[in-house]
Amino acid sequence: MNAPDIYNTLDKPSEGIYKEKGSKFITYAYPVYSEEAIKAHVDELKKQYYDARHHCFAWQLGTDGKRYRANDDGEPSGTAGKPILGQIRSYDITNVLIVVIRYFGGTKLGTSGLIHAYKEAAIDAINNGTIVEKTINDIYRVNFDYGVMNDIMKIMKEENPNIHKQDFNLRCSIEWGCRQSNVEKIKNRLEKVESTEVEFLQTQ
C-alpha cells in the first residue's frame, strides 16, 4: 500500500469460471465495504445456485489486513477459502469478496487439485475485473453562523474538499469529505473561524 488511506479494490463486480475434470467453478467478485454487504451477496448466491455442492468464499476489509475471513463450505480444510484469500492478497486488493461456487463433476480432485482449482477460479474473476486505486475518505459537517460564511467558503475554495450537502439558513451547515490524510488541516482551519463546530459523520 502506498499510504494508510490509499488502497486497491475492484471498481465493480466481475465474474470468472474454471473447469477441471468435470467440476465447474463459477466465481463472483465484488467490491464490498461491510460484513452486512458480504452476507447479503453470499446469501443471494446460495439462493441462486441452490443446487451447487459448495459456496466457498473469502473476503478482506480495510487496509491493515486484520479483517478477513476464508470459508471452505464443506471442502477439505484449507483447500478453498485460503487459496481464494491468497489471491486477494497476492493482487494487493481489499474491500473485496470473492465467492466460488462448485458443481461437482464426479471425479475427486484431491487436496492439491482443489487448491489449484479455487486459486485459478479466483484469479479469473480478478483478471476479468478492473483494479482501481481509491482513498479512504472521512465525512464531516461544519456548522456555522451566517455571518462567517465568507470565511468558511474561502477555506472550502482553497482546500477543495468534496461537498456533499449545503444548508444556508440563520445557522448554516456544509457536509464535506476528503481523504483521511488531508482531514486535520481542513478541520483545524475551520475550527479557527468564530462560531464554527466541526463534527465527524462517517468514513467511506
Same domain, 143 and 61: no
- The per-residue pLDDT for range 3-21, each reduced to its tens digit, is 778 999 999 999 999 999 9
**Is there a domain that residue 93 lies in?**
yes
| pLDDT of 64 above 90 | no
CATH number where 153 lies = 3.30.70.260
The domain containing residue 81 runs over which residues? 6-134
Inter-residue contact 6 to 135 (CB < 8 Å) = yes
| pLDDT of 92 above 80 | yes
Cell of 201: 459523520
Final residue of a structural domain among 109, 134, 159? 134
Cell of 40: 447479503
Q: What is the mean pLDDT of residues 132-150?
A: 94
Same domain, 115 and 15: yes
Distance CA 39, CA 60 (A): 13
Same domain, 90 and 141: no
Name the percent of the chain lying above pLDDT 70. 99
Distance CA 15, CA 125 (A): 5
CA distances 203 to 13, 19, 33, 122, 140, Å, are 22, 40, 10, 29, 9
Inter-residue contact 185 to 153 (CB < 8 Å) = no
Distance CA 172, CA 142 (A): 8
149 DSSP 8-state letter: H
Same domain, 84 and 54: yes
Same domain, 100 and 142: no
**Is there a domain that residue 1 lies in?**
no
Same domain, 179 and 120: no
Distance CA 157, CA 190 (A): 12
pTM over 0.75: yes
| pLDDT of 53 above 80 | yes
Q: What is the mean pLDDT of residues 33-54?
A: 96
Q: What is the mean pLDDT of residues 144-170?
A: 94
Half-sphere exposure of residue 7, counting CA atoms within 13 Å on the CB side? 24
> What is the band of 1 on the pLDDT scale with cuts at 50, 70, 90?
very low
Same domain, 108 and 194: no
Beta strands in the chain (DSSP E): 6-10, 14-20, 23-31, 54-61, 67-71, 96-103, 131-135, 137-145, 162-167, 171-179, 197-203
Same domain, 28 and 121: yes
- Residue 2: the pLDDT is 54
Cell of 56: 466457498
- Residue 203: the pLDDT is 84
Same domain, 122 and 145: no
Same domain, 15 and 103: yes
Domain count, the chain: 2
- Which helix (H) or strand (E) segment holds residue 45: the answer is helix 35-48
Inter-residue contact 89 to 60 (CB < 8 Å) = yes
